[in-house]
């Protein structure tokens, strides 16, 4: 009896110990509980910046990891009334295209600039899927500073992936289209529609160029889905998944998967550079917008690209090869060593890894299984490194730098961790809600930071408190520092994330700009001191050069505006203090507010329609006297003779 | 008896193991390390223009004022976005007070009183010299954070506030500092 009690108690003790341990989450994470691993205490910083695409929101969310806290939503392809992006005169040109001004876009895949295959944190690029464009966001100010339109393309999905020294950013289309565009019957798709692939040159200053140093490759009219660059030994190559090599043009959910295999297109861009140097290109006339935001003038301008150099791979041997892959692949992911190219046939139950070394050998030995539009198709077995028999519907793979790959499975809603080279499955964890993409900070570079994995789900349903029929997409964070993955956080995202990028905070945070120097402001309508503020009439155009400082506008009373005028409010924020923006909103104005950062100038246009006295005010709680920060504009009837007059405290502005 | 002792020991063992496992789990057994609460006066920023407290701290003649601000615990208010106009007494101004006044005021039990006196030196809003001069012309009194008002006057060429002369004016990121040679003691205290 005595002995039995003792044994029972000891057994219970051990059980409790084990249970306590299990509660910590399988022992990884330095012995911390799951909650502690995701918890960032008040006043402390996250370890990583996460940059999650907004999909149909057109924007890019900046979040902290592991907390999942939203730090900022950067407007990129869609107007944002909060920040006046696409509403103020300075940023309207950012959304200009050859189709005119477009207020919305579909942002998909963020990719952080690299040097020697490692994340350098200078810029993040992101593609627009609907009207093909690539944007560049400067990570010292977290604002969109450049958008280039991609001509001869349609859905810009296999984009904007970067080569390992940020030499090029690529763009390839998910739609075959007549190239160049022309009026023709859609059912004559086969052989007539093309899938133009672009290599946009990125300058040392980040500036993109397609016309002079960039180029395009006239690929067959397949659908190009995802891409990744070679790295290390495979630097100089770029890999794109294709689907619909069937060249179906209708009911693609059936017609695009009749063949057993699709392709990964391997493009030798160093070879392309040789061909360009040798003049083996055609120059095509075109028209595309190139919008650049100038940090000194705080203004964007649009210029127009008129020409592009086009290479025809059917005539240029060695430029492109096709690697067969299980049908309808999505992700095309290259491991940190550059040896394995992983394609995931999303209708299959396996991920496929091809070998770069074997690919070169197969090319040398001409192990081809025919060709497609003059491009050699390599023998599947000759390039195959391994098949990972895993879950259902593999989509996308990232790497931890420790020899493991992590593949998301949409249909079986799980993440599978497997070993490169042996292809054995190490761990699998459910995500429950149809995971699409996943991200390990640096997971698509030579040097991943294999601590966390972010799974972005396509479905949410009952995961959070319900918010009507539309629920934000769910994301889940896993600690992958141990052998087994442990889910440590779960949070809703903005829009629909299609991919994300992550980077240690230390690579960015100390470069983050606090204010714009007023003395460096080169905006043509900037004013730098109160006495220089003024109101100038030029016919029916009125320019208001207005200043803002806690807690007033100067001038704050304006008279002499008439119905029918076009009034430009040029607001300069005189503050030189971190986190003291001022806002501006004019009653009845058919536009957004302005939100002007310290030292910056922004402009909004107002078309006064009714005589009266109309107020304006500061929309940002800038100071204790924010509510006092306001003013009036007197609008007189068209043809009245009220003279222009502007004052502060009932005095001329230079009396202050 | 012996059996009871054994059970007691075993129960203790049970709890100690349970505790150990919980400690292992908690990474130190307690709540995660909490940083000491800090306010805006602790923000590291060498890019923005200097705020009122940073300017005051950089001038040795304001050391008594700075000590008083710290004793009253109002550092965060002085770096607050404001805007505020501070009439800042020099060290010599505090020396003019009856002996022992400063020493008494900076005692913890007089924190409230000290803070009240300090707020009498702060006008919420931007008051550059030009605006102060306008106050005379427009017959506006200066509303102070203490809830009292001060009169701005002109004595010859000298601009006076609350009866003391403004010696110098400095623009700071969150308002203005006007240097004065006397402490402005609120009339009721």
What residue ranges define each of the domains in chain B, with the CATH number in brackets? 49-180 (2.30.180.10)
Among partner residues B6, B22, B126, which is closest to A6 by beta-carbon distance? B6
Buried b (16+ CB within 10 A) or exposed e, A344-372: bbbebbbbbbbbbebbbebbeeebbeeeb
Residue found under tokens 């001869």: A152
Decide if A228 contacts A333 (C-beta within 8 A).
Answer: yes
Among partner residues A20, A577, A623, which is closest to B21 by beta-carbon distance? A20
Interface mutation vs chain A, best among B4, B13, B16, B25, most A CBs within 10 Å: B25
Buried b (16+ CB within 10 A) or exposed e, B81-118: bbbbbbbbbbbebbeebeeeebeebbeeebeeebbbbb
| Residues whose CB is less than 8 angstroms from the CB of residue A340 and which lie 6 or more positions away in sequence, other chains included | A334, A353, A354, A355, A356, A385, A405, A420
Please tell me the class of the A518-655 domain.
mainly beta
C-alpha to C-alpha distances, A473 to A435, A437, A457, nearest whole angstrom: 10, 12, 6
| Residues whose CB is less than 8 angstroms from the CB of residue A541 and which lie 6 or more positions away in sequence, other chains included | A565, A566, A568
What is the pLDDT, as a whole number, of residue A20? 41
Neighbours of A411 (CB within 10 A): 15
One DSSP character per residue, A223-280 reads EEEEEEE--GGGTTEEEEEEE-TT---S-HHHHTT-SSEEEEEEEEHHHHHHHHHTT-
Find the residue in A nearest to B83 (Cα): A550
Paired tokens of B178: 């006007």
Cβ pair B10:A30 closer than 8 A: no
The residues with which A536 forms a beta bridge, in sequence order, are A543
CA separation for the pair A69, A37 (Å, rounded): 14
Dihedral pair phi/psi, residue B15, rounded to 5°: -70, -35
Mean pLDDT of B183-188: 86
Among partner residues A9, A41, A576, which is closest to B14 by beta-carbon distance? A9
Residues of B in contact with A20 (CB under 8 A): 18, 21-22, 24-25
pLDDT at B88 over 80: yes
A203 CB-contact burial (10 Å; exposed 0-12 / middle 13-18 / buried 19+): exposed
Chain B residues with CB under 8 Å of a chain A CB are: 3, 6-7, 10-11, 13-14, 17-18, 20-22, 24-27, 32-35, 37-38, 43, 45, 47-49, 51, 80-84, 124-126, 128, 130-131, 134, 173-175
Cite the residue boundaries of each domain of chain A with CATH code 2.130.10.10: 48-511
Among partner residues B25, B34, B51, which is closest to A20 by beta-carbon distance? B25
| Residues whose CB is less than 8 angstroms from the CB of residue A299 and which lie 6 or more positions away in sequence, other chains included | A89, A90, A93, A293, A523
Residue of A202, A230, A240, A65 whose CA lies nearest to A120: A202
Cβ pair B81:A549 closer than 8 A: no
Cβ pair B18:A42 closer than 8 A: no
Among partner residues A44, A576, A655, which is closest to B48 by beta-carbon distance? A576
Find the residue in B nearest to A515 (Cα): B48
Cβ pair A578:B48 closer than 8 A: yes
Neighbours of A292 (CB within 10 A): 18
Paired tokens of A555: 């001038």
Cite the residue boundaries of each domain of chain A with CATH code 2.60.40.420: 518-655
The residues with which A489 forms a beta bridge, in sequence order, are A477
> What is the longest distance spanned by two Cα atoms in chain A?
109
CATH-assigned architecture of domain A48-511: 7 Propeller (2.130)
Residues of B in contact with A549 (CB under 8 A): 83, 126
User: What number of helices (H) and strands (E) belong to chain A?
Assistant: 6, 48
CA separation for the pair A420, B30 (Å, rounded): 40
CA separation for the pair B117, B86 (Å, rounded): 12
The residues with which A388 forms a beta bridge, in sequence order, are A351
Residues of B in contact with A624 (CB under 8 A): 80-84, 124
What is the pLDDT, as a whole number, of residue A432? 86
Cβ pair B24:A24 closer than 8 A: yes
pLDDT single digits (tens) A360-412: 999 999 999 999 999 999 999 999 999 988 778 899 999 999 999 999 998 88
- How confident is residue B131, by pLDDT bands cut at 50, 70 and 90? very high
Find the residue in A nearest to B176 (Cα): A550
The torsion defined by the Cα of A168, A171, A172 and A173, in degrees rounded to 10, comes to: -170
Residue of A354, A360, A409, A345 whose CA lies nearest to A386: A354
Q: How many CB pairs under 8 A join A and B?
A: 122
Comparing B126 with A347, the larger pLDDT belongs to B126
Our CA-based measurement puts residue A140 at a distance from the nearest CA of chain B, in whole angstroms, of: 14
| Residues whose CB is less than 8 angstroms from the CB of residue A302 and which lie 6 or more positions away in sequence, other chains included | A93, A96, A289, A290, A291
CA separation for the pair A74, A87 (Å, rounded): 15
Residue of A248, A258, A254 whose CA lies nearest to A193: A248
3-state secondary structure of B53: helix
Our CA-based measurement puts residue B36 at a distance from the nearest CA of chain A, in whole angstroms, of: 9
Decide if A498 contacts A55 (C-beta within 8 A).
Answer: yes
Kind and range of the H or E run holding B22: helix B2-26
Residues of A in contact with B80 (CB under 8 A): 624
- Which DSSP state fits A220? B
CA separation for the pair A526, A9 (Å, rounded): 79
B125 CB-contact burial (10 Å; exposed 0-12 / middle 13-18 / buried 19+): buried
Residues of B in contact with A623 (CB under 8 A): 81-83
CA separation for the pair A449, A507 (Å, rounded): 12
3-state secondary structure of A121: strand
Residue of A142, A341, A327, A156 whose CA lies nearest to A233: A341
Residues of A in contact with B119 (CB under 8 A): none
- How confident is residue B25, by pLDDT bands cut at 50, 70 and 90? very low
Our CA-based measurement puts residue B173 at a distance from the nearest CA of chain A, in whole angstroms, of: 6
CA separation for the pair A290, A288 (Å, rounded): 7
Residues of chain A with pLDDT under 70: 1-29, 655-656
The three-point CA angle A23-A25-A31 to 5° equals 95
Our CA-based measurement puts residue B161 at a distance from the nearest CA of chain A, in whole angstroms, of: 18
Cβ pair B134:A575 closer than 8 A: no
CA separation for the pair A252, A274 (Å, rounded): 37
Neighbours of A643 (CB within 10 A): 8
CA atoms within 13 A on the CB side of A386: 14
Residues of B in contact with A24 (CB under 8 A): 24-25
CA separation for the pair A46, A60 (Å, rounded): 18
Our CA-based measurement puts residue A567 at a distance from the nearest CA of chain B, in whole angstroms, of: 29
3-state secondary structure of A149: strand
The residues with which B99 forms a beta bridge, in sequence order, are none
pLDDT at B23 over 80: no
Neighbours of A100 (CB within 10 A): 8
Among partner residues A17, A515, A622, which is closest to B81 by beta-carbon distance? A622
Interface mutation vs chain B, best among A577, A620, A628, A651, most B CBs within 10 Å: A577
pLDDT at B30 over 90: no
Our CA-based measurement puts residue B85 at a distance from the nearest CA of chain A, in whole angstroms, of: 11
Our CA-based measurement puts residue B87 at a distance from the nearest CA of chain A, in whole angstroms, of: 18
Q: Beta strands A404-409 and A394-399: pairing type?
A: antiparallel
Q: Beta strands A541-549 and A566-573: pairing type?
A: parallel
């Amino acid at each position: 009896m005595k002995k039995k009690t003792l044994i029972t108690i000891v057994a219970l003790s051990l059980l409790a110990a084990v249970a306590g341990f299990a509660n910590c989450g399988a022992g990884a994470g330095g012995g911390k509980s799951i909650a502690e691993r995701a918890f960032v205490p008040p006043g402390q910083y996250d370890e990583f910046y996460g940059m999650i695409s907004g999909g149909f929101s057109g924007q890019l969310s900046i979040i902290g990891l592991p907390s999942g806290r939203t730090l900022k939503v950067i407007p990129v392809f869609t107007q944002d009334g909060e920040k006046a992006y696409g509403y103020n005169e300075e940023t309207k040109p950012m959304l200009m295209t050859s189709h005119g001004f477009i207020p919305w876009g579909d942002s998909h895949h963020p990719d952080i600039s690299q040097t020697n295959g490692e994340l350098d944190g200078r810029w993040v690029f992101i593609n627009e899927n609907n009207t093909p464009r690539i944007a560049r966001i400067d990570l010292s100010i977290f604002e969109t500073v450049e958008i280039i339109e991609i001509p001869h393309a349609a859905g810009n999905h296999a984009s904007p992936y970067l080569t390992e020294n940020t030499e090029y950013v690529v763009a390839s289309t998910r739609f075959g289209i007549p190239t160049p565009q022309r009026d023709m019957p859609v059912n004559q798709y086969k052989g007539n529609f093309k899938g133009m692939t672009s290599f946009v040159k990125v300058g040392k200053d980040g500036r993109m160029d397609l016309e002079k140093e960039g180029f395009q490759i006239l690929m067959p009219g397949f659908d190009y889905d995802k891409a990744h660059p070679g790295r290390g030994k495979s630097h100089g190559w770029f890999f794109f998944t294709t689907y619909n090599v069937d060249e179906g043009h209708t009911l693609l959910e059936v017609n695009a998967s009749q063949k057993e295999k699709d392709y990964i297109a391997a493009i030798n861009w160093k070879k392309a550079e040789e061909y360009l140097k040798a003049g083996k290109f055609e120059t095509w006339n075109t028209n595309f917008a190139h919008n650049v935001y100038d940090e000194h003038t705080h203004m964007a301008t649009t210029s127009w690209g008129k020409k592009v150099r086009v290479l025809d791979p059917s005539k240029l041997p060695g430029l492109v090869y096709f690697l067969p892959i299980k049908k309808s692949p999505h992700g095309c992911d290259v491991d940190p060593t550059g040896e394995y190219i992983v394609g995931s046939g999303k209708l299959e139950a396996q991920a496929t890894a091809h070998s770069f070394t074997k690919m070169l050998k197969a090319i040398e030995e001409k192990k081809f299984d025919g060709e497609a539009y003059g491009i050699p198709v390599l023998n599947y077995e000759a390039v195959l490194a391994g098949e990972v028999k895993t879950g259902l519907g593999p989509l996308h793979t990232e790497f931890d730098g420790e020899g493991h790959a992590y593949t998301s499975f949409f249909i079986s809603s799980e993440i599978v961790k497997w070993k490169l080279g042996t292809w054995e499955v190490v761990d699998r964890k459910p995500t429950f809600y149809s995971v699409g993409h996943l991200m390990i900070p640096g997971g698509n570079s030579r040097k991943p930071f294999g601590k966390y994995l972010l799974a972005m789900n396509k479905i949410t349903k009952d995961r959070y408190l319900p918010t009507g029929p539309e629920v934000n997409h769910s994301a889940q964070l896993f600690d992958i520092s141990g052998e087994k993955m442990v889910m440590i956080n779960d949070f809703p995202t903005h829009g629909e994330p299609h991919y994300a990028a992550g980077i240690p905070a230390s690579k960015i945070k100390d470069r983050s700009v606090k204010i714009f120097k007023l003395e460096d402001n080169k905006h043509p309508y900037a004013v730098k001191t109160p006495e220089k503020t003024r109101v100038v009439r030029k016919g029916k155009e009125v320019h208001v050069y207005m200043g803002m400082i806690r807690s007033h506008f100067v001038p704050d009373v304006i008279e002499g505006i008439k119905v029918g005028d076009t009034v430009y409010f040029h607001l300069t924020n005189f503050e030189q203090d971190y986190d003291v923006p001022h806002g501006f909103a004019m009653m009845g104005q058919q536009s957004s507010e302005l939100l002007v950062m310290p030292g910056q100038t922004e402009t909004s246009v107002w078309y006064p329609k009714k005589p009266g006295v109309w107020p304006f005010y500061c929309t940002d709680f800038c100071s204790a006297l924010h509510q006092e920060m306001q003013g009036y504009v007197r609008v007189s009837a068209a043809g009245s003779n009220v003279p222009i007059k502007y004052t502060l405290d009932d005095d001329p502005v230079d009396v202050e | 008896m012996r059996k009871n002792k054994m059970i007691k020991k075993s129960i203790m063992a049970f709890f100690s193991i349970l505790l150990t496992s919980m400690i292992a789990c908690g990474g130190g057994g307690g709540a995660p390390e909490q940083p000491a609460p800090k306010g805006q006066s602790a923000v590291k920023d060498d890019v923005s223009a200097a705020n009122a407290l940073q300017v005051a701290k950089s001038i040795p003649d304001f050391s008594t004022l700075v000590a008083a601000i710290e004793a009253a615990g109002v550092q965060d208010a002085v770096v607050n976005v404001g805007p505020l106009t501070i009439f800042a007494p020099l060290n010599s101004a505090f020396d003019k007070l009856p002996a022992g006044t400063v020493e008494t005021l900076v005692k913890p039990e007089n924190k409230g009183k000290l803070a009240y006196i300090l707020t009498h030196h702060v006008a919420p809003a931007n008051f550059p010299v030009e605006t102060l001069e306008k106050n005379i012309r427009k017959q506006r009194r200066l509303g102070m954070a203490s809830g009292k008002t001060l009169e701005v006057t002109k004595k010859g060429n000298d601009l006076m506030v609350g009866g003391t002369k403004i010696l110098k004016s400095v623009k700071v990121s969150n308002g203005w500092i006007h240097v004065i040679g006397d402490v402005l003691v609120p009339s009721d205290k």
